[in-house]
Chains A and B, each alone.
Chain A
């Protein structure tokens, strides 16, 4: 056993954050720095007849104003899409719109000024002559005949059609089923809202012909690659991308954004550093949104509740442009999860990715998997009610059993490991499920609307096996780098291609390396987020950093230990096979002779001196590894929520929430619990409050925190967290992803609970968010009249 892994250690990165020393991009100050502000379209869809920038340019303190044409004329290329299934229609996405704007917030010009105040003043002086065009907002309506066309390159607004499974077999199976649940549902659009608004800054060094870009990104190497090979063409060895402290991402900071193109381009153009920081309103208009599906689904089963077939037809709103991974979310990360925890033998799913006059949609915490769980777990919830069966009992009847792993699902994935009954046993016990049901019965008898909701969710996390993601349509494999550099005095720098933006990698990765090498974590510094300091890294998303990034560090540590062992054997004149590396103390000794030993620090120093090394050995203690896992990891969960619906106001109160997750082995329980609880809160936010809403004409209605209902502290009871541990065989640490499970399960669990509360009124399904207004109307309708 190690000294650190498995222990709840407080974070080494916290002192800087709690003292106001976070190094966010917005805090950056560079000598001669200028400030950028972006003129954005107030129209969802319009032709640009002309842009007059003269008055803005004449304002004192304005350095330059540039338009989309300026960028295109100087050779800036459109922003690419990194997931391209066959026959996809790829409309160009310019960093600044050239002749047409396609969503509210689409950029048309950038002002560079001596101060941000002046830059914003100048925006008001830019005259854009727009010719408004009809707009389309809804994912499904966009694909109907006669809908306004968002791009000439995308006929009928359908960018791609992606299907999996044998539809004929599924239809035949459904026709033979005793019972089929059929449901239309909407998984509403969300705005991710990391608390740090996006920011970008850039400095061009004309003497060295080098560009440095600071950006609030989850994956700086990906941004460097895209800036170099696609958008700006700056040679990669002359381009440094730094993502320092990043204030939350939740997926929204994965993608290559327009401002990451505009800011460095402008910095080189004017020969001065440029900084741009989004306002919250800009975040709402331009951060890639999440979800936004319109789905028709059918689950067929036998009379005793054994699932036979599942059919999904889904329209996924891509927004006005295809964001970096957008087409991957409602396809390879969605339909492939439709088996859930269950042995449904045949599954068919199809998604139409449609273009609309809305902000682009891409990965948001869970990314496709919450949408999949929502479909499946809503269907099962309704089925259990139809067949008058306890919802947990129905799920248990269909579980994949522990001895059936690895389990090949009918939708491409091979599950690694799991024990779903054990997860549910723990949740049932923690929640005291039967007592909860008894309390519900008593409350109902007293005329109250109390509901209990359950869900059992699964996630493919830790992306991923490169071969698998590429075969599903990704343009790039998803491995990770991890390097360990041992300094002469035995201090250690750990370099990871993963990026921490709240996850606490500076602590958890140090725990791993500390235990692998047997050294104190106070001797370890974890470096991330700087392309010039690190080997190529893929970045942090899809709950991959411990499974894949951690795996790479385990590989490097193994190499370091091997080398230390060989040096110690040489110096102690013993055979390498007779050496023992003690990982609790960081010493190597001869088997059976603990006093014949060398300490980690001694060897580190000896390597640097290079005066007594085995013949031919290189005098360095530095190793880099790349881990490409053999499979995804499959964390899974059993969540139970209890809610009360106010009969008069329709307001939902969350009374209790139990989250039991199996995320495999755990490096730091404190951090994992933090991820689960935070994830649940985001899931509950979708269920009850949040909605990235547009009106029918394409105006963004939820443009600020005044109109977008973020979860607040008083919206929650204490969320109770439990766990089971089924290690993953897919990585050396046995870990599974922990970052998204809470969100995946949280949404559908609470919706199921509210629907359970409303069941006595005969309400079968309501679309999210389950606001008081919506529920009040449903109660009134159920009562056969107005309220």
Chain B
């Protein structure tokens, strides 16, 4: 099937099997390997991207479902060489160790803050429930999200 979508500001058209997952489309068809795969049951959130303005787990979405969609992946989050405040906050607050969950975590956290820039710590922790990190114990991820929220001040 032919699918067409805008990824990180550029439009791509490819002929794919109907069963192809969006995450495989991004990684294998477009070569954007920043979006990682951490599980096969939609639990870990490593593959989180933005699709039409929402945080979506791209392992649970078919590429054909994204036909016509506008997608942002971790590779497209920064504004050129200017890191997104969430990326900056993860760096400054040691919000990552092995880095594998990080793209999904950053993409999920960005939408959380855009939706509610004034989250309490409990709300941040609850909001990140769909993203698993094995390294950090979440402490510095929560700190990073708080710091980014202060910078983002209301989302876009």
Interface mask (B22-56 → A, CB under 8 Å = 1, otherwise 0):
00100100011111111111011010000000000
For A18, give its contact among B33, B90, B98 (CB under 8 Å).
Answer: B90
B contacts with A, residue count (CB < 8 A): 58
Is A176 an interface residue when CB atoms closer than 8 A count as contact?
no
The answer on a CB contact under 8 Å between A705 and B41 is yes
Q: What's the minimum C-beta distance from A526 to chain B, rounded to whole angstroms?
A: 16
- Bound Cα distance from A116 to B17, whole angstroms: 13
Q: Are B101 and A678 in contact (CB under 8 A)?
A: no
Within the complex, which residue of A196, A680, A706, A719 is in contact with B100, where a contact is CB–CB below 8 Å? Answer: A196
Separation of A710 and B136 alpha carbons in the complex (Å): 13
B150 interface contact, C-beta 8 A: no
Q: Which of B31, B91, B139 contacts A29 (CB 8 A)?
A: B31
Chain A, residue nearest B121 (CB)? A718
A residues near B140, Cβ cutoff 8 Å: 674, 677
Minimal Cβ-Cβ distance residue in B for A706: B41
Residue numbers in B under 8 Å from A718 (CB-CB)? 121, 139
B126 engages A677 (CB within 8 Å): no
Q: With A22-B100, A247-B99, A670-B94 in contact, do A713 and B138 touch (Cβ < 8 Å)?
A: yes
Taken together as a complex, chains A and B put the C-alpha atoms of A719 and B126 apart, in Å, by: 17
Distance (Å) between the CB of B152 and the closest chain A CB? Answer: 16
Instruction: Indicate if the CB atoms of B100 and A674 lie closer than 8 Å.
Output: no
For chain B, residues 129 to 156, give those with C-beta under 8 angstroms from any C-beta of chain A.
129, 131-142
Q: Is the CB of B94 within 8 A of A682?
A: no
Q: Known: A195-B133, A279-B40, A682-B134. Contact between A714 and B98, CB under 8 A?
A: no
- B44 A195 Cβ-Cβ under 8 A: yes
B114 interfacial contact with A, CB 8 Å: no
The residues of A that contact B74 with a CB separation of less than 8 Å are: 18-20
Closest CB of chain B to A108's CB: distance in Å?
Answer: 20
Contact for A194 among B35, B87, B134, B139, CB less than 8 A: B134
Establish whether residues B94 and A678, one from each chain, have CB atoms under 8 Å apart when the complex forms: no
Contact A704 B78 (CB under 8 A): no
A680 B137 Cβ-Cβ under 8 A: yes
Q: Are B99 and A502 in contact (CB under 8 A)?
A: yes
Q: Is the interface of A mostly helix, strand, loop or mixed?
A: loop
Residues of A within 8 A of B38 (CB): 195-197, 280
Interface residues on A, range: 35 or more
CA distance A20 to B134 in the complex (A): 18
A558 interface hit (Cβ, 8 Å)? no
Interface residues of A in 241-266 (CB under 8 A from B): 245-248, 250
Task: Compute how far the CA of A26 lies from the CA of B37 in the bound complex, rounded to whole angstroms.
Answer: 9
> A13-67: which residues lie under 8 A (CB-CB) from chain B?
13-22, 24, 26-27, 29
Nearest-CB residue, chain B, relative to A504: B97
Would A704 and B90 count as touching, CB distance under 8 A?
no
List 17 A-B pairs, Cβ < 8 Å. Answer: A11-B91, A14-B91, A20-B35, A20-B103, A26-B36, A26-B37, A195-B98, A196-B100, A248-B98, A281-B40, A674-B97, A677-B137, A678-B137, A705-B41, A713-B129, A714-B128, A742-B137
Chain B residues engaging chain A, CB cutoff 8 angstroms: 17, 19-20, 24, 27, 31-41, 43-44, 46, 73-75, 77-78, 83, 87, 90-92, 94, 96-103, 106, 121-122, 124-126, 128-129, 131-142
A positions within 8 Å CB-CB of B: 10-11, 13-22, 24, 26-27, 29, 116-117, 193-197, 245-248, 250, 277, 279-281, 501-504, 670-671, 673-674, 677-682, 704-706, 710-714, 716, 718-719, 742
Per CB-CB distance, the 5 closest pairs between chain A and chain B, nearest first, are: A20-B34, A247-B100, A17-B99, A681-B137, A502-B98
